[in-house]
Each structure stands twice: as structure tokens, then as C-alpha cells.
Amino acid sequence: MEFYFQSDQGKKRRNNQDYANVFTNQSNKVLALLADGMGGHQAGDIASQLTVNEIGKSWEMTDITSSEAAVKWLIQKIQNENQRVYEQGQQDMALSGMGTTLEAVSILENKLTLAHVGDSRIYVLREGRLLPLTEDHSLVNELVRSGEITPEMAAVHPRKNIITRSVGMPGTIEVDVAIHNIRPNDRILMCSDGLTNMLSETEITTIISQNTSLQLASQSLIDAANQRGGTDNITVILIDLGGSNHD
């Protein structure tokens, strides 16, 4: 199993509010985390970095090896972090309203365990097809689900960047969690919306499929998004499961 992650400021933003990192626990199990922060000044980058690093450092102290244990742990840790980010935003006017999306992936017991908050995404590339494993927590996605607008209309909707869930909300946060079977040679993509707002899923599939190197695939995805305008920060985590089972 191989991991690679990369983050880019893009062409239009003054700073990078995305953050990603990969952490290994006491049982040598890896947790990949990706966050897309929001908030004025530097509040977004603080929210994303704090969330990833706090959860990641906590993971390093665990000896979790099972999917079910990881799901329970992730829900609790994300709830704790949600409260912490919210309180920090309340205490410091410069950080008021800060929050972040969060994507978490771990491969345990030959399964993919994930947690998801916001409109960053997790996909699996399997046999040439890009399969979404998450559903955006966004205003436009709710409008699509209710039949008020089409997916095509959502892509150009003026309020497409409004999310309905984020780490840093008041009260209890609803975390999407799931455990998926994986197959040899699957590739996992975690990404911020700076990628998916610029490139279609077909284009993403082609770029990843054409590059056997995760580093080249990541760079090619970022380059393509920037060539389209790079209107947001762009962050990618790629995981190659290789040809054998993973326990």
C-alpha cells in the first residue's frame, strides 16, 4: 500500500486553507486526513491544520486495528474537535466563524473505513471507473436531492460553495461514516473541492489511470485544475492498494 499527498494554493487564493497529512498508530495502521478550511483572514488555515493535526496525533496514540473500533473512535474524535474549533472561534474574534471540512480514511481488515463532513470528497478508482464514496454536505446537493435543480445546474449555481455541515459548527455534528470492501489494485482519491470544481470525474479518472506514479498523478491533477483557472486551493491524497490484501 502506497500513499502520496499534495496541496497547492491555486491561482486565485492568497493563502492555502487546505491541509492534509497521514498518520500511523501504534499498530502500524495509517489514517489519512484532508481538510478544507473556511473563515476570514487566516481562520480557515488554522481550522484545517488544527483539526487534522489534533485528530492525527490522537490516532498515533491508539492501537486500533478493527474497522468498527475506528468508526467509533472517529465519530468521538470529530465531535470533540468540532466543539474545540467552535469554542476557539467564539473566544477569538479573529477566528470567529472558522470551520473546516474533513475527510478521513483508514485501511483496516482489508476494508476502507471513512468519515466525512462537508464537501470535500472520497472516491475509489476501480477497473477504470471512479466511484464516489461520499455525498456532499452542501446546499446545492440538497437542492439536487429534492429535485429542485439538476446536477448540471448545481455545477454553476451561485451558492454552490455553501456547505451544510462543517467541523466548527455549534452543537452536535452529524458525521457520515462507512466501511467499504476493497479490491486489489483499487486506488483511493481524497480531494478538496478545488479539484472537483475544476475537473470532471471523467477527466480525473483519465489522469489517474494514465499515471502509475502517485506523485505524477497528484501533480497532473493539480496542474490540470490550475490550467482551468485554479480558483481555489487544490489538495489531493492518493492511496494505491496494490495487488494484495490488507489487514
pLDDT at 115: 99
For 125-135, what is each residue's pLDDT tens digit? 999 999 999 99
Residue 102 backbone phi and psi in degrees, to 5 = -155, 130
pLDDT at 71: 98
Q: Is residue 219 part of a domain?
A: yes
C-alpha cell, 160: 454552490
At 244, the pLDDT band (50, 70, 90 cuts) reads: low
C-alpha cell, 179: 466501511
Q: Is residue 147 part of a domain?
A: no
pLDDT at 20: 98
Give the CATH number for residue 176.
3.60.40.10
Instruction: State the average pLDDT for the chain.
Output: 94
- Which residues have a Cβ under 8 Å from the Cβ of 29 and sit 6 or more positions away? 64, 65, 106, 107, 108
pLDDT at 100: 97
C-alpha cell, 53: 493535526
Q: Is residue 144 part of a domain?
A: no
User: How many domains, in total, are found in the chain?
Assistant: 1
Residue 202 backbone phi and psi in degrees, to 5 = -65, -45
Mean pLDDT of 11-27: 96
CA distances to 76, 82, 99, 117, 207 from 85, rounded to whole Å, are: 14, 5, 7, 14, 36
Q: Is residue 158 part of a domain?
A: no
For 138-166, what is each residue's pLDDT tens digit? 888 888 888 888 888 887 787 777 899 99
d(CA 125, CA 103): 17
End-to-end CA distance of the chain: 11
Q: Is residue 153 part of a domain?
A: no
Q: With contact defined as beta carbons under 8 Å apart, do 134 and 165 qualify?
A: no
pLDDT at 152: 80
Q: Is residue 146 part of a domain?
A: no
DSSP E strands in the chain: the ranges are 2-8, 18-24, 30-38, 99-100, 102-108, 111-117, 121-126, 129-132, 176-181, 187-191, 234-240
pLDDT at 143: 87
For 199-236, what is each residue's pLDDT tens digit? 999 999 999 999 999 999 999 999 999 999 999 999 99
C-alpha cell, 66: 478493527
Domain residue limits at 71:
2-133+163-240
Mean pLDDT of 36-63: 94
Q: Is residue 155 part of a domain?
A: no
pLDDT of residue 177 exceeding 70, the answer is yes
Radius of gyration of the chain (CA): 17
**In 24-46, which positions are buried (b, 16+ CB within 10 angstroms) versus exposed (e)?**
ebeeebbbbbbbbbbbeebbbbb
Q: Is residue 154 part of a domain?
A: no
d(CA 36, CA 20): 9
Percent of the chain with pLDDT over 90: 84
| CA angle 41–45–47, rounded 5-degree value | 105
pTM as predicted: 0.95
